Amino acid sequence: MDTQFELIPIGHVERPDPQFDAAEFFDPSRESVIAIDPDWGPALTGLEEYSHLIVLFWLDRAERPTEAPGLRPAESRAELPPVGLFAIRTPRRPNPIGMCVVRLLRREGSRLHVTGLDAWNGTPVLDLKGYNRRDDMRPDATHPDWLERLWAIHDAER
């Protein structure tokens, strides 16, 4: 398959902490701004009525593997089982597309103030979608036991 795609950023991330610090990188309570190119500003109309948004972004600083890497535990934590890269949310992906659900605090023109954005300062934003409880929430969804253990580790570390 030789198909190529062109992605056009619609904006970028602005974080108050532009220097990457792995220990404090993702603080879900910290406010960030999604600065949308003014040409796309009119397309934001109505988005402010949502409490949450789905944000798709390009992990522009991530290393891209050229073939499937070996199995490894999530976050390299030895107490977790080794899994493939598609089972974890590593940025090291064939197509480093990031996704997260953020809380929309307010819209100021082409600037969306949000919390919960797991992206670096300057990260290109590819798309936005309003989060729809009816379409996006899956009450019957399941996930692996190791993910529950990882979340427990995160909770204990906070």
Tens of pLDDT, residue by residue over 30-66, are: 899 999 999 999 999 999 999 999 999 999 988 888 8
Q: How many angstroms separate the CA atoms of 32 and 158, rounded?
A: 20
Handedness of CA 115, 62, 95, 153 (dihedral sign): negative
pLDDT tens digits for 84-122? Answer: 988 988 888 888 999 999 999 999 999 999 999 988 889
What CATH number was assigned to the domain covering residues 11-157?
Answer: 2.40.30.70
Position 79 pLDDT exceeds 90: yes
User: How far is Cα 79 from Cα 127, in angstroms, rounded to an integer?
Assistant: 36
Domain-by-domain residue ranges, the chain? Answer: 11-157
Q: Is 109 left (phi over 0), alpha (psi -120 to 50) or beta?
A: left
d(CA 12, CA 21) in angstroms, rounded, equals 19
Most confident of 73-77, 126-130, 137-141: 126-130
DSSP state of 110: T
Q: What is the pTM of this model?
A: 0.86
